[in-house]
Amino acid sequence: MQSLLMILDLVLSVVWFFVIAHVIMSWLISFQVLNVRQQFVAQIWYALNRLLEPMYAPIRRILPPMGGLDLAPLIVLLGIMVIRIVVSNNIGYM
C-alpha cells in the first residue's frame, strides 16, 4: 500500500510540473515572448492544453467569470497540495 501512495505522490508531482509549465507558457505567449506559429511551441502548447483541460474545465464551470483572469490552474495546484499532504500524512500509517 505504501508503494501505491508513493506512486500517487510521484504522479501528483508530475502534474504539478505540467500545470506550472502551462501557466508560465501562457504568460510567455500572452507577452509575445513565445510565438504559437512556431511548430515546436505549438506542439507543446497543444499537448499541455490537451492534458490539463480535463482538470480545468469543471473548475471553470464553477468559478464565476473574472474578466480574463483564469484561476483554474491555481485551484488545481491547491488541490494537488491538499492531496499530497493527505498522502504524506498517511504514508506512515501503512
Under the banding of pLDDT at 50, 70 and 90, the label for residue 10 is very high
- What is the tens place of the pLDDT at every residue in 34-82? 999 999 999 999 999 999 999 999 999 999 988 889 999 999 999 999 9
> What's the predicted TM-score (pTM) here?
0.90
- SS3 readout for 9-67: HHHHHHHHHHHHHHHHHHHHHHCCCCCCCCHHHHHHHHHHHHHHHHHHHHHHHHCCCCC
